[in-house]
Each structure stands twice: as structure tokens, then as C-alpha cells.
Amino acid sequence: MSARYDELMALKSVGQKYAYTDRDVMLYAYGIGMGADPMDEKELGFVNEATYTERPLKVVPTFASVAAWGAGPGEMNLNRLLVVDGERDITFHRPMPVAANITADSSVVEVYDKGKDKGVVIRHQTILRDEAGEALATLLASRFARGDGGFGGPALEQPEPHKMPDRAPDRSVDISTRPDQALIYRLCGDRNPLHSDPEFAQKAGFPRPILHGMCTYGLTCRGVLQTYADYDAAAFKQHAVRFSSPVYPGETVTMDMWKDGNVISFEARVKARNVTVIKSGRTVLG
């Protein structure tokens, strides 16, 4: 077994402490584009706590992805310039509170060495817990490090992706993004200059800064929220995607959805460039 593989698999961090307030909850919702219409009461419920008639503020389910921003199993020593999100899968054990003190337990699940010059995929998970120690959400992520790999890890096959229905979509929605969307979303925690610095983006092989993959992930949550979930955040039990191509701020994302019982399958694309940006999407409602 490779020493580098063993080093990565041993990474673990337990009891990382975080806190957030309703400001963070509203900023995230705004960061994924909610509230663009100041008269849309359904979306205002996620971005506005100041109401004449009192109502509780709602939390977008995928806020869980930034509630403990920075939590992780430890330093992986990867080539940061060439690291991109591969997958994200969140299981929601209970709705996220509007404000909370939480802890995060993180560990590496598996490492897939694709070979020299082919990169490495690292899957890791983070469990968010409330002050009583009860699990709020389990975040499973994979990062694709294009500049690493070939260190002799075991030849393992990655899990099969969610199989998409073989029929026309049951529903499709267009979700627009703002030219400055990444500059807003980065205030939720991810300050990677790939999303804000033109020079950095060009060094990484992109013509201009790209939208955070996790912002696109939030957009797909919005798509399900506004269609099959009727804006009920508590209905979400799981939300998973595979990232296949970046979105550029200002583009319109078309989300195609298929409903089979309580499972919503989906993909997302940018029609203007004829590119699919999210594949094998799966939401479980309950």
C-alpha cells in the first residue's frame, strides 16, 4: 500500500466548533439567487426576517454545505490550482436551525488514484451536530485533484452514479444567475480566487472566474424547492449531484427534473453553450 494513500486515509478531525446566525442563513439564500423578486413572498421567507406579520425565517436545506465552512479531515497537500469539486451529497437528518452552535466531525472515506497525470479523487464526509450532539446533516463530498495522482493507491472503482430515467423530463425550469453571483456567494465562506480573480482563473485554464460548484449545487436545491417541494425545506431528506462542467456568472441554468415517487432525478445545463453542468442529480423528499 502507498504511504501517500495511508496518509490521506488517516486524516480525521472531530469536534470542530462553529456558530452561525440568521444573517448567515439569509446571505446564503441570497448568494444562490433567492429574493431577486422583492414581492415573491415564498422566496422572501428565506431572505427576510423583518416582517409586519410575524413568520419564522426559513433555512435553505443546502445551507448545511456552508454552516461549518472550512471543516474537513485535515490538510491534504494538494495542488490547489487544479482542485475542483467532483460530487456533493447531503443527507438531512433534521431541518437546520435558523441560528446555532454546531460541531463538525470529518474523515476521509476513500481515495481513488486515477494514475499519473490523471489526478486523484478523494471522498470525505462531515457530520454536523447540534449542541446536544444530535446529527443535523451528513455531508459527503469528493474533490478531484487534477494535479495529483499516480502515487500507487489501490485500484478501486468509484461508486456508480445515480441512474437517470429514460424519458423526457417531467418538468424544466430556467434559473438565471447574476454577473456578480460568485462575488456574492464567496461571502458565504469559499474565498477561492478561482471565482473572483481573472488572472487566477486564467492560470487554472478558464477564460474568466467561474461560479462556485457549491453555488450551482444550491441552485439545483432551489429548483426542487420551487417545484416539487413547494418551498418546504423540511421536506428534503437528501440532495446529491455530480459536477460535470462549470457555470459562468451571468449564465442561465436550465434544470430538467423527473419525479418517481419521493425521488426527484435531475440534470442541469447551460443551453447557451450546449453544456451539461450537473449530472446524476438526486433529491429524496419525505
The pLDDT of residue 1 is 60
Distance CA 285, CA 1 (A): 41
The pLDDT of residue 204 is 85
Distance CA 129, CA 138 (A): 9
The pLDDT of residue 85 is 82
Q: One digit per residue, pLDDT tens: the chain, 286 residues?
A: 689 999 999 999 999 999 999 999 999 999 999 999 999 999 999 999 999 999 999 999 999 999 999 999 999 988 877 888 899 999 999 999 999 999 999 999 999 998 888 899 999 999 999 999 999 999 999 999 988 888 887 878 888 999 999 999 999 999 999 999 999 999 999 999 999 999 999 998 999 999 999 999 999 999 999 999 999 999 999 999 999 999 999 999 999 999 999 999 999 999 999 999 999 999 999 9
Catalytic sites, residue numbers:
190, 195
Distance CA 36, CA 39 (A): 9
Element (H, E) at 257: strand 252-260
Question: What cell does 101 get?
Answer: 452552535
Instruction: Give the amino acid at 165.
Output: P
The pLDDT of residue 154 is 82
Q: What is the three-class DSSP state of 283? A: strand
CA distances from 25 to 30, 189, 201, 205 (A): 9, 12, 28, 33
The four Cα atoms 248, 201, 196, 245 give a dihedral, to 10 degrees, of 30
Q: Which of 200, 233, 201 is nearest to 218 (CA)?
A: 233
> The dihedral of CA 177, 180, 185, 190: what is its sign?
positive
End-to-end Cα, the chain, rounded Å: 42
For the beta sheet containing 263-270, the strands, ordered from the edge strand earlier in sequence to the opposite edge, are 12-20, 100-113, 120-129, 135-145, 83-92, 236-243, 275-285, 263-270, 252-260, 171-176
Q: For residue 115, count other CB atoms closer than 10 A to its CB.
A: 13
